[in-house]
């Protein structure tokens, strides 16, 4: 049994580390939810507030502004931790820490603001930036799958309903169904990003009373302060009304689209896992990759399994903001804080990971046409019986007589498959039956797989042209990134 390291000798491996960051997440998304990004953004928000207040006539000097600008990233995290331990208040701990390196500006840092000025506004910035990180990744996945769908638009494959053999489709058409879901997710992520607003400067209960006092009852200046800070932070609009916080329904909106993305990816990767079992399609498998520590021959779809595993986690996280929003009393309660520290970050980190993994999968999918063709031949004879009956009727046969003949021969062939473990010999039985001699020379044509796929290939071509390529156009400059996984 492993023992803890002696006191004072702990290293990174002696404490729990979230695998979302230590194993999987991209550096960009990990930084987006880092303490350096968070507290650096707090300082920038304090700077914006001071700059706006100065521009509207409050007695703030250029020297104070310059001092704040010079120390935006000069964060003493050790001091901040000591201050928080002493004060039991994270925002005031960082006010004091910032003031320590900005002694001239100390008196005007956080002027008129409440903790949610930095806390909530930073969260909205981080959510916005997080969505901007996810969108190009999702677009790349759609692009890679679009190339795959186009390449295999004409390759017939056995369709499945209820995971039972059904009418033929094509490999590309099945992929188009995956793409359609992801395009919906792309639209939803863009909408969620574009609808995000800034909390702005609202004060302790959202009434802006403290700022109205600072500006001696000048409502126009308070509104202009809100507008200026919102613009400095990169937002076009702020919420007109808030409590102490922005409405926690905003978190529901954002995490719901991420949960929906998780559902899409879980479905896609489940399909890939099932197809891998059929040996029709496989995800990339590296030369020295090991599928099983015991069974050396195995080629497990571990990337798709990872996506499904993490997608389940992503889908469950929507419950957190739903419950948080429902129990916020009046203008605000603090029981949202600890929950949101976990749920918001984990949702974005998880979405980031499964998109990176799915991009890697989509860049290396392997198709086995001969395996697909063999499975079609095992099932196609039964599917072709209606075509055979129609051909016999055209050749002068009686529909009911032909139907009975086909029924008997089909039952015999099914018995060979199910009871004897043999191949489907229905066509051989039809060839051997003189009743069907009028169409014996048509059987190869009647059994051509492409005649059973309907308009699948045409649908793929139209879908890609009209619905997929247009939504990818804004992301063309970011399509060149190839995804390599470290684990």
- Residue numbers annotated as active site: 162, 292
Residue 144: its H or E element: helix 115-151
Query: Closest Cα partner for 409 from 438, 439, 389?
Result: 389
CA–CA dist 352, 331 (Å, integer): 33
Q: How far is CA 467 from the centre of its chain?
A: 19
Please name every residue paired with 321 in a beta bridge, in sequence order, or none if there are none.
Answer: none
CA dihedral 317, 323, 325, 329 (to 10 degrees): -150
Cα-trace Rg, the chain: 31
**What DSSP line would sit under 34-71, residue for residue?**
SHHHHHHHHHHHHHHHHHHHHHTT-S--HHHHHHHHHT
CA–CA dist 272, 175 (Å, integer): 10
Distances (CA, A) of 103 to 100, 214, 253: 6, 22, 41
Torsion angles phi and psi, residue 400, rounded to 5: -70, -40
C-beta of residue 242 within 8 angstroms of C-beta of residue 206: yes
Query: Closest Cα partner for 262 from 192, 321, 309, 195?
Result: 309
């Amino acid at each position: 049994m492993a023992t803890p390291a002696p006191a004072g000798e702990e290293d990174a491996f002696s404490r729990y580390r979230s695998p979302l960051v230590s194993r999987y997440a991209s550096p960009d998304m990990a930084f987006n939810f880092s303490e350096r990004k968070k507290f650096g953004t707090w300082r920038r928000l304090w700077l914006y507030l001071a700059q706006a207040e100065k521009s509207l006539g409050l007695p703030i000097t250029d020297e104070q502004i310059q001092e704040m600008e010079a120390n935006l990233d000069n964060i003493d995290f050790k001091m901040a931790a000591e201050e928080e331990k002493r004060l039991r208040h994270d925002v005031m701990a960082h006010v004091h820490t910032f003031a320590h390196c900005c002694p001239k500006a100390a008196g005007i840092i956080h002027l008129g603001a409440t903790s949610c000025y930095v806390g909530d506004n930073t969260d909205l910035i981080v959510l916005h930036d997080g969505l901007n990180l996810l969108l190009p990744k999702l677009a790349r996945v759609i692009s890679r799958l679009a190339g795959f769908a186009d390449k295999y638009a004409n390759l017939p494959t056995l369709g499945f309903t209820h995971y039972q053999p059904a009418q033929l489709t094509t490999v590309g058409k099945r992929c188009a169904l995956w793409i359609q879901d992801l395009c919906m997710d792309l639209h939803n992520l863009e909408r969620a990003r574009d609808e995000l607003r800034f909390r702005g400067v609202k004060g302790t209960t959202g009434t802006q009373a403290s700022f109205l006092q600072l500006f001696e009852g000048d409502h126009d200046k308070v509104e202009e302060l809100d507008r200026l800070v919102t613009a400095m932070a990169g937002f076009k609009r702020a919420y007109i009304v808030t409590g102490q916080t922005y409405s926690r329904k905003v978190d529901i909106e954002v995490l719901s689209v991420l949960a929906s993305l998780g559902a899409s990816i879980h479905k896609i990767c489940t399909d890939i896992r099932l197809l891998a079992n059929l040996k029709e399609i496989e995800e990339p498998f590296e030369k020295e990759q090991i599928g099983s520590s015991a069974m050396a021959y195995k080629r497990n779809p571990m990337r798709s399994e990872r996506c499904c595993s993490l997608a389940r986690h992503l889908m469950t996280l929507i419950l957190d903001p739903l419950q948080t929003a429902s129990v916020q009393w009046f203008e605000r309660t603090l029981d949202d804080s600890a929950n949101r520290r976990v749920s918001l970050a984990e949702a974005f980190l998880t979405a980031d990971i499964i998109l990176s993994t799915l991009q890697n999968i989509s860049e290396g999918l392997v198709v086995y046409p001969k395996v697909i063709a063999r499975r079609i031949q095992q099932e196609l004879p039964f599917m072709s019986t209606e075509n055979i009956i129609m051909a016999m009727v055209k050749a002068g046969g009686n529909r009911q007589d032909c139907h009975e003949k086909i029924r008997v021969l089909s039952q015999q062939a099914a018995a060979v498959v199910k009871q004897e473990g043999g191949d489907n010999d229905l066509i051989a039985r039809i060839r051997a039956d003189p009743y069907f001699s009028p169409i014996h020379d048509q059987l190869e044509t009647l059994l051509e797989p492409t005649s059973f796929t309907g308009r699948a290939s045409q649908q793929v071509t139209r879908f890609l042209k009209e619905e997929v390529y247009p939504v990818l156009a804004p992301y063309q400059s970011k399509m060149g990134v190839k995804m390599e996984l470290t684990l």
